[in-house]
Each structure stands twice: as structure tokens, then as C-alpha cells.
Amino acid sequence: MPITFQLDGGGGDPVAPRAGQLATERGLVPTPAFMPVGTLASVKALTPEEVTATGAHILLVNAYHLYLRPGHQLIESLGGVHRFMAWDGPILSDSGGYQVFSLAKLMRVNDEGVRFRSHIDGTEHHYTPEIAMQIQRDLGVDIAMPLDHVLPWDASFVEQREAAERTLHWFDRCRAFESAPSPFAIVQGGIDEELRRWHARELAARQAPGYAIGGLSVGETKADQYSITEIVCAELPTDRPRYLMGVGSPEDLVQAIARGVDMFDCVLPTRLGRTGSLFTDNGRINIRGARFRDQASTVDPSCDCVTCTNYSLAYLHHLFRNEELLGYRLASIHNLRYLHRLCKRMREAILHGVFDSVSDEFLARYKPSDQTVRTDQRARWGSRSQS
């Protein structure tokens, strides 16, 4: 069954907020939608049933990591990645282009592909667009991503142009690979507006089943992130899903939805959860703080997740102060549920024609984390798709 997408509301303008439905063989995904990241076929510390209970309709795995360990051929022999991880809903796989360039040792790239040494054991590999598609075909995913050439946001224009051209060439090769899922296209180009427009137009002309915006949330300013997102969405077909890669902060989701984005993924909710940082409508709270030691209330009385309906702030504080593993799980569950509820809230606002007022109210109330904190986290975490 081919991937299809239909709009249920909004989307009158290429950069307007939209509510839609992404249809795959394994089910429908109402959009806007957040995809939990299960890099190694596991959303860290959570069972598939728990991930489903947070409201997830689709999740992400990483082809690069599964290629290196345990191997895509082994997973294929065991019935594919859905059976391997006991997830029966749709799965999108990141080709691993970002990881090849951020994690691999002694990496060398040319138009043919990338030669690199594994960050795990130092073995040498030649990763090509065709191999990326073969891996995703063998995994049996529902939505595949092409190999793309990712650069730091502040790379020179010449470097960004070369990478964008290579990404275009690699997309054509990925799409031509026999028996593989038809891949989404990935728009690159750094923060150069004209380069992004050109790349988006070139890919739009190829009529991919969906479009991803790559190379953002990697160190550029929020203003640049929002501006480039809007510029790219303005050039993309309105009847195809748009996916902003690696973005998971609540305020960024709302800002991107306002500009016409449909899908998101990020390690942020689960990584933050494991550090004791929890999403609320007022911003993040650090449950390790002494002020929560004797608080009988819950993280969010309006939240229906298992964490908020059963456990007090004082109990969560106790778990984290004592490094109890249950704390990491409960915090991750809440953060995922928060983002799914936020997407649903924005979807309903779009369908009822009140998105502007609902989003304005949210953004006025939500206090983003400090830029210094975000920069420090990015430096420590490194990869967009390691959960």
C-alpha cells in the first residue's frame, strides 16, 4: 500500500497550520504527530505497550545503528523490525545520514557514498544510498529516508551547496533502488535562504511521497530555525506530509506547526526524562530540586498519563534522588504523553479554526529553557537520533 496523506483541516496556505492523516499499510497517523525515537528498535526503558499508551501512532528507528548492530539481515531473518521489537504500528526509519557524519571515525565522502569506521568497533564500511535503502527494505519499515549529506549549520555556502547537490543525487539513487520503500525527500541547505528554496523546489519537482526538513536544530538560532522551516514549507507540495527532523521542544513544535509542519521526532522527551526534567505548560521542571521533596501534587493534574494519575512530585523526587530506575521510566512516559497531548491540542485547534489563539496562549505561557542550557545539552548529547 502506498503512503497517502489527506488534509482534514487548515492548510489553505503552504505555510498555514494543517491537520491531516497519514495512511500506511499498518495504520493511520493523525497529524500533527510526534514520533518517539527507538534508535535501536527500543524507546529506552519503555515497552511498546507503554509507548502506545502515551498516544504514539508511529515511531522511528535508525538504519545506521541497526546496520552496525545487530545487523539488518539478522532482523530480516527474524521477521522484520516490527516483529523484532513487537511494535505493530507504522515505523519510519532514519537512514543514518546524520550519524554517519557525526559518529563515524575517519569518514570520507564522495559522490559514490561514505567510507567510515564504525564508532563501535572501528571496522571500515562503505555506506551508499543503495545500501541505506537495502537496510531499510530488509528491516521492513513503512517509511524510509534517503541517505543525505548533513553538514554543521555554519558550514560555508560552497560546502552547503555541494552537500545539497549530493543529497539530491543520492535521493534519485535511493528512489531507483529496487523493491525498497519509496523514500521521503530531505531538504538541506543550511541557513542560506536561497539555497534552501532551490533545494526544496528541486525535490518538490520529483513528487516524493513526503518531505523532510533536515539540518536544523543542530546549533542555529531559534529565529533561523523558524525562518528556514517557513521558507522550505512555502516551496513544498501541500498534498504531501512535511517532517521536521530532530525537533522536540514543545515551543518548537508549536512554532513549526504554525508554519505547516506535520511530523516530528526527537530524543529530547526521553533523554530529558532520564535526567529528571519534565514538561509542563509553564516550561520544564527539574524534579531533583529540593522544593519537590514534600509536594503531594502531581506533575500536571490535567495529564492522564500513568505518572500523573498515580504518583506525586514527592515520590518522583524520591526516585530520582535515589537513582531508582522507575523514576526514569515514569518521567519518560510523562514527557512523551505531554508531546502527544500537545500535538492533539494543536490538531483540535486547527480543526475548530482557533489555532492562532490557542498557540498564542501556549507560547505566552510556556517558558523555554535557557539558550546556554540547550547548547550544553547539545554538546553532551551530540546525535539527533540516539534515544
Which residues are known catalytic residues? 94, 265
Question: How does DSSP assign 197-232, residue by residue?
Answer: HHHHHHHHTTT-S-EEE-S-SSS--HHHHHHHHHHH
Q: In the chain, what is the straight-line distance between the N-terminal and C-terminal CA atoms, in Å?
A: 29
d(CA 212, CA 246): 10
Residue 177 burial by CB count (10 A; 0-12/13-18/19+): exposed, middle or buried?
Answer: buried
Gap between the Cα atoms of 309 and 299, Å rounded: 9
C-alpha grid cell, residue 242: 512535511
Number of other residues whose CB lies within 10 A of the CB of residue 130? 17
C-alpha cell of residue 111: 559522490
Neighbour-count burial of 46, counting CB atoms closer than 10 A to its CB (0-12 exposed, 13-18 middle, 19+ buried): buried
Question: Which residue, among 35, 51, 170, has the nearest Cα to 92 in the 3D structure?
Answer: 35
DSSP 369: P
Give dist(CA 103, CA 215) in Å, integer: 16
Determine contact, residues 250/20, Cβ cutoff 8 Å: no
